[in-house]
């Protein structure tokens, strides 16, 4: 059932009593990292980046004490709580969860995020990602997505969303009208979604519509243009959804019937502030359908610039009061004005068991042309672990676990990091090893632009060492589509969709045939 914000008289009165500065604060969600402890004010919401559990509890409590109205406490729990709350339960990324094909596990992951984060005071998450992983080179989507097929993405994302919202955590579907169809990054520029109306309604539009129909409480537009439903400006440029009345009001609110909260993506991303002036963008987002701004710079210049736009008519007081009243009404509906009971203590051991189950069911044999998996590894098996990963130094713990886990089976394990094609050629041609396990790929990282092997590290894929007779098993720990670029040269590849403490031991057990591996490409084409 669709969620609807119903503006009550009490919410309207509360908004009418706020000054212009207070209205601005209510419709803004800054980052605690930028605000700091010394400049806490009565903001409508606050986003907290990863910190230790105890420190988060302290600063969240301090922020709530500074607020006249109960605030939203926000983070980005796209795959359980552990990526944003250090020490909380960690899960693989959404595509790994999706590879289990289990709505029950997706619900449990959402529930666990809600319970562990709720204990600290969180009540809103910018998840799940509703984007489809259509372009393998997408620098933003990839393993954050539930997959490529709309029906499967709806199935898994809605289960995760339900687990969140049924346990006290407001969910946010993103990034409307859909990321993942281009290699352009809206952190840097304004991507254009290259679909006609029919294709959009059959693909990303279908996902967003079904999640709206199933009760999504909030939605985040991306700084992404959708020319099929919009018009270019005087420069011939199509506007990002963030400031497009045609997309947010006519399409999303009108045709699709979404009546929940609309929060911008970070308002300083290049996809919006490369399109128009920063302060004009803040005003235009609110005027054209958004309820809340994410990560505005809450300094004296911001307040002065927004007051100037109120004076010149580009940001009306009526709009500000409407947006603030909607936010306050949502807080009423969500129970933030009621004194709640103390959150129950989460059962972390049980949560870890669920995360392990997700890993067990998600590690996938994506391709195995010669049928070499499982590969028996005994004490005398000579194994090379080759690392062909950009920024391998950022993955020291993962690589150490790979060497340790392989070493638990064999007494003859070597690990080479970025060895170059000549060294790999000689090793394979001379049959120095019985098996080469190659960790390959790059992590998603905003600003990376295209998620592929790049620069000198990519040269490891030269030389033809994969075709010299030594069995090679590639493992992509993060990027789920490495196999698409290396269609011919990679004959065997496994995906893990992230790395938590139990991932590598379970991966190595699967390679060696000590446990079964998933061979169904639920989230792939």
Q: How far apart are CA 496 and CA 72, in angstroms?
A: 33
* pLDDT reported for residue 223: 98
Q: How far apart are CA 106 and CA 295, in angstroms?
A: 29
Q: How far apart are CA 296 and CA 334, in angstroms?
A: 24
Is there a contact between 505 and 401 (Cβ–Cβ < 8 Å)? Answer: yes
What does the pLDDT look like over 309-321, one tens digit per residue? Answer: 999 999 999 999 9
Mean of pLDDT values over 424-451: 89
Q: Does the pLDDT value for residue 449 go beyond 80?
A: no
Residue-averaged pLDDT of the chain? 96
Q: Quick check: helix, strand or coil at residue 72?
A: strand
Find the helix or strand (DSSP H, E) in which 52 lies.
strand 51-52
**Residues contacting residue 505 through CB under 8 Å, at least 6 positions apart:** 401, 405
Residue 243 half-sphere exposure toward CB, CA atoms < 13 A: 25
* pLDDT reported for residue 181: 96
Q: How far apart are CA 518 and CA 512, in angstroms?
A: 14
Q: How far apart are CA 494 and CA 476, in angstroms?
A: 6
Q: Which of 35-39, 219-223, 349-353 is the least confident region?
A: 35-39
Is there a contact between 207 and 257 (Cβ–Cβ < 8 Å)? Answer: no
Q: Does the pLDDT value for residue 36 go beyond 90?
A: no
Q: How far apart are CA 134 and CA 480, in angstroms?
A: 12
**Partners of 441 in beta bridges:** 389
* pLDDT reported for residue 40: 86
Q: Quick check: helix, strand or coil at residue 387?
A: strand
Mean of pLDDT values over 72-81: 96
**Partners of 78 in beta bridges:** 80
Residue 91 phi/psi, 5-degree rounding, is -125, 160
**Residues contacting residue 415 through CB under 8 Å, at least 6 positions apart:** 384, 385, 386, 387, 399, 402, 403
Mean of pLDDT values over 86-102: 97
* pLDDT reported for residue 39: 82
Q: Does the pLDDT value for residue 436 go beyond 70?
A: yes
What does the pLDDT look like over 326-346, one tens digit per residue? Answer: 999 999 999 999 877 777 789
Q: Which of 126-135, 271-280, 452-461 is the least confident region?
A: 452-461
Mean of pLDDT values over 444-463: 84
Q: How far apart are CA 393 and CA 155, in angstroms?
A: 36
Burial of 96 per CB tally in 10 Å (0-12, 13-18, 19+)? buried
Question: Nearest to residue 130, comparing CAs of 183, 192, 181, 66?
Answer: 181
Band (pLDDT 50/70/90 cuts) for residue 453 is confident
Residues carrying an active site annotation: 187, 265
The bridge status of strand 364-368 relative to strand 492-495 is antiparallel
Q: Does the pLDDT value for residue 271 go beyond 80?
A: yes
What does the pLDDT look like over 423-432, one tens digit per residue? Answer: 999 999 999 9
DSSP 167: T
Q: How far apart are CA 364 and CA 496, in angstroms?
A: 7
Mean of pLDDT values over 194-210: 98
* pLDDT reported for residue 399: 97
Question: Nearest to residue 477, comparing CAs of 494, 492, 489, 463?
Answer: 494
Q: Which residue has the tokens 């969500």?
A: 334
* pLDDT reported for residue 342: 72
């Amino acid at each position: 059932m669709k969620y609807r914000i119903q503006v009550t008289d009490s919410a309207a009165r509360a908004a009418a009593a706020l000054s212009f500065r207070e209205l601005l604060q209510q419709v803004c969600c800054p980052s605690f990292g930028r605000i700091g402890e010394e400049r806490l004010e009565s903001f409508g919401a606050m986003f907290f980046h990863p910190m230790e559990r105890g420190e988060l509890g302290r600063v969240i409590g301090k922020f709530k004490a500074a607020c006249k109205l109960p605030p939203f406490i926000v983070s980005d729990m796209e795959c359980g709580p552990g990526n944003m709350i250090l020490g909380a339960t960690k899960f693989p990324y959404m595509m790994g969860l999706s590879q289990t094909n289990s709505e029950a596990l997706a619900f449990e992951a959402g529930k666990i995020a809600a319970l562990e984060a709720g204990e600290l005071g969180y009540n809103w998450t910018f998840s799940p990602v509703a984007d489809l992983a259509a372009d393998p080179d997408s620098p933003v989507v990839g393993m954050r997505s539930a997959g490529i097929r709309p029906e499967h993405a709806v199935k898994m994302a809605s289960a995760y969303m339900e687990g969140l919202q049924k346990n006290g955590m407001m969910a946010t579907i993103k990034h409307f009208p859909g990321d993942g169809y281009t290699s352009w990054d809206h952190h840097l520029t304004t991507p254009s979604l290259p679909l006609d109306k029919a294709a959009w309604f059959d693909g990303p539009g279908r996902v967003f519509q079904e999640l709206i129909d199933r009760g999504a409480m909030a939605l985040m537009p991306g700084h992404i243009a959708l020319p099929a439903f919009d018009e270019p400006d005087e420069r011939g440029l199509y506007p990002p959804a963030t400031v497009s009345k045609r997309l947010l009001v006519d399409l999303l609110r009108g045709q699709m019937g979404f009546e929940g909260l609309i929060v911008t993506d970070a308002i300083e991303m290049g996809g919006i502030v490369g399109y128009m002036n920063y302060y004009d963008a803040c005003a235009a987002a609110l005027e054209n359908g958004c309820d809340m701004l994410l990560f505005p710079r809450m300094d004296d210049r911001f307040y002065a610039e927004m007051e100037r736009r109120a004076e010149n008519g580009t940001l009306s007081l009526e709009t500000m009061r409407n947006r603030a009243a909607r936010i306050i009404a949502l807080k009423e509906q969500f129970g933030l004005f009621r004194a709640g009971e103390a959150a129950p203590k989460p059962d972390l051991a049980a949560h870890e068991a669920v995360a392990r189950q997700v890993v067990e069911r998600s590690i996938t044999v994506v391709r195995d042309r010669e049928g070499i998996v499982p590969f028996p590894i005994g004490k005398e098996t000579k194994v090379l672990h080759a690392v062909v990963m950009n920024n391998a130094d950022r993955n020291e713990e993962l690589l150490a676990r790979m060497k340790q886990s392989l070493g638990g089976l064999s007494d003859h394990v070597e690990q080479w990091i970025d060895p170059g094609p000549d060294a790999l050629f000689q090793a394979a041609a001379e049959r120095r090893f019985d098996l080469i396990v190659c960790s390959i790929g790059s992590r998603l990282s905003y600003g990376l632009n295209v998620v592929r092997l790049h620069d000198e590290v990519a040269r490891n894929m030269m030389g033809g060492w994969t075709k010299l007779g030594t069995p090679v098993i590639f493992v992509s720990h993060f990027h789920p589509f490495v196999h698409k670029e290396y269609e011919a040269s990679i004959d065997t590849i496994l995906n893990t969709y992230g790395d938590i403490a139990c991932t590598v031991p379970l991966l190595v057990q699967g390679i060696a045939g000590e446990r079964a591996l998933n061979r169904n490409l639920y989230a792939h084409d």
